Amino acid sequence: MKKALICGVSGQDGAYLAHLLLQKGYEVYGGSRDAQMSSFQNLTRLNIRSDISLVSVNINDFRSVLQTLLKIRPDEVYNLAGQSSVGLSFEQPVETLESISVGTLNLLEAIRFSELPIKLYNAGSSESFGDTGQLAADERTPFRPRSPYGVAKAAAFWQVANYREAYQLFASTGILFNHESPLRPERFVTRKIVAAACRIAQGSTEKLTLGNIDIARDWGWAPDYVEAMWLMLQQPEPDDFVIATGHTRKLKDFIRTVFERVDLNWEDHVQIDPSFFRPTDLAEGNANPAKAFWQFGWKAKHKMEEVAQMMVDAQLNGVFHPTAS
């Protein structure tokens, strides 16, 4: 039985990845800064909390990481930890850089020091590309990040590449574009939209206040994307891959789809507040995920319209399963 350690198991991706690995027969360890105090609500929602061995590990502390690796001796480590909000990164740039960049470096160095044959997956981000305009970013597109979050993810990407080349570690980065699910916290705009639309449909008279709704993103379904993470570590050689649907839509289109799902006209319920605009926001994000398809056959199963509809259905029905629809 393979062992996997998921750092950041309490988040959206960590929970869905844990669910997937359990289905594949793994012994799954879930890392959290304080496993005694964390609620692990997402694991409970997926009904898998009792199936996972929860461990306290602080990836900002090298000794904590090394001790955890030597104790568990995992075959695979998934680095999904760190501050995960682009918007919040402007308010907490130091915490963002430390939790993402220093955390990744500690994992790499601990794996090297342990001399265990551990395969590492690192969660990269399309935010590292910055604004590529109409260009569909792939693995050769230069990084020009425009947020503290993007800067931190770019730094972590190059750390992984450096350790792979210098020390022959099996370390791969998935450069993931936006991926959503009912497990997202409401501070993420997609869940904020879905939650508000469902409340309004049930009688609330509130207005949904948003920032720039003309931004465009490639939105996918998170359970599809965790499968790509797993597949990367099953390849004969480590490498980096863009993971996306290949289809870009405006936030306005996401809003429209959500409100149509509850039989409402979005324009009657949405107001724009310029104070919600970010200092440097990306106008558009386009992706070319062809390499993942050609190398290991991965392709996104759900595009934005389906993602929005599934999130609404899950919100109304209280269903969080990966195939919720």
Q: What is the DSSP string of 280-318?
A: S--SB-EE--HHHHHHH----S--HHHHHHHHHHHHHHT
Does the annotation mark 125 as catalytic?
yes
Contact 218, 247 (CB under 8 A): yes
Other Cβ atoms less than 10 A from the Cβ of 266: the count is 20
Q: Which of 16, 26, 78, 149 is catalytic?
A: 149
- Which residue from 193, 189, 221 is spatially nearest to 207, judged by alpha carbons? 193
**Is 145:154 a contact under the CB 8 Å cutoff?**
yes
Question: Annotated catalytic residue: which of 10, 101, 125, 128?
Answer: 125
Which of 64, 84, 127, 305 is catalytic? The answer is 127
Question: CB neighbours of 9 closer than 8 A, spacing ≥ 6?
Answer: 15, 17, 18, 30, 31, 32, 40, 43, 52, 54, 80
Verify whether residue 127 is a known catalytic residue: yes
Which residue is associated with the tokens 């720039």? 212
Asked if 149 is an active-site residue, the reply is yes
Residue type (1 letter), 195 = A
> How far, in whole angstroms, is CA 31 from its chain's centroid?
16
How far is the C-alpha of 132 from the C-alpha of 33, rounded, in Å? Answer: 35
How does 150-172 read in b/e, with b if 16+ C-beta sit within 10 Å? Answer: bbbbbbbbebbbebbeeeebbbb
State the amino acid at position 35 in one-letter form.
Answer: A
- Give yes or no for a contact between 289 and 300, defined as CB atoms under 8 angstroms apart: yes
CA distance 282 to 259: 24
Question: What amino acid occupies position 313?
Answer: D
Catalytic residue numbers read 125, 127, 149
